[in-house]
Every structure is written in C-alpha cells, then in structure tokens.
Amino acid sequence: MRRSGRALLALGVALAAVAVAGCGRDDFENEPRPPVAAEISVKIGSDAVVVSPPEFGAGLANFTVANLGDSAATLEILGPSAAESGEVSPGGTATLKTEMVTGNYVARARGTSAEAFDFRVGAERESAQDDLLLP
C-alpha cells in the first residue's frame, strides 16, 4: 500500500507540473494586429476615373469599383505596386483587394476614354490592436 501512495503522489506532482506549465505566461509579446483594410471607392465615368479618398495609408485596400460609363472597363492601378480588376460591365460593380505600398499611383479605366486619376498612398496605417472589429 505504501508503494501505491508514492505512485499517486508522483502522479499528482507530475500532473501539477503539467498544469502549471500549460497555463503559459502573461508577459510574452504578440505581434500587433495588422491595420484594418482601407475601404476605397472608385467611380469609372464616361469622362473620368475618380478615387475616393485620394490619399490613404499603406496596407491592405479594398477597392469598390462602380462603372457608371457606357462601355465595359477594367480598372488598372499603376504605381509602386500594380493591380487590375476584372472587366466591369456598364452599370456594374466589382471589388479589388490588394496590398498597397507607399507612393504615387494612377488609376485608369482600360477600355474607355475616361481620364486617369492620380492618387497617393502614404505611410503604413496604425495597428488595429485596440480596435473593436465588427463583422
């Protein structure tokens, strides 16, 4: 009986050690949460392309493209990083998600005679570490 008591004691100590080690530490540093994606609107008209806002911070950007012109168009973003949407039919919309780096850009509508739009991407946006993210 004495042997089983020692075995139970050893098992209890081992389980306690595993439980304490599994709890982790509170003082470790996590990587900060990335910035929330910038929501950018792009209007392709019959005479011009308009990007709103015309300046935003670097990081992930979601471009919502509305083609208000009379012909199908493809949004091209040219600059330090380049991106291209699929073809957007007249009266249609599309979404383009891309990582933007700091620099000067041009947005143009391939397939139309709409005038291109110059916009700027500034420094990287702040972390969303302390922001409440809603669905």
Which pLDDT band holds residue 33 (cuts at 50, 70, 90)?
A: confident
Query: Residue 66 — pLDDT band, cuts 50, 70, 90?
Result: very high
Model pTM? 0.72
Query: How far is Cα 1 from Cα 120, in angstroms, rounded to an integer?
Result: 79
Average pLDDT over residues 53-76: 95
Q: What band does 133 get if pLDDT is binned at 50, 70 and 90? A: low
Q: What is the CATH number of domain 38-124?
A: 2.60.40.420
Give the max Cα distance, the chain.
Answer: 93
Q: Which of 56, 55, 31 is nearest to 127 (CA)?
A: 31
Q: What is the pLDDT of residue 24?
A: 56
Query: For 83-109, what is each residue's pLDDT tens digit?
Result: 999 999 999 999 999 999 999 999 999
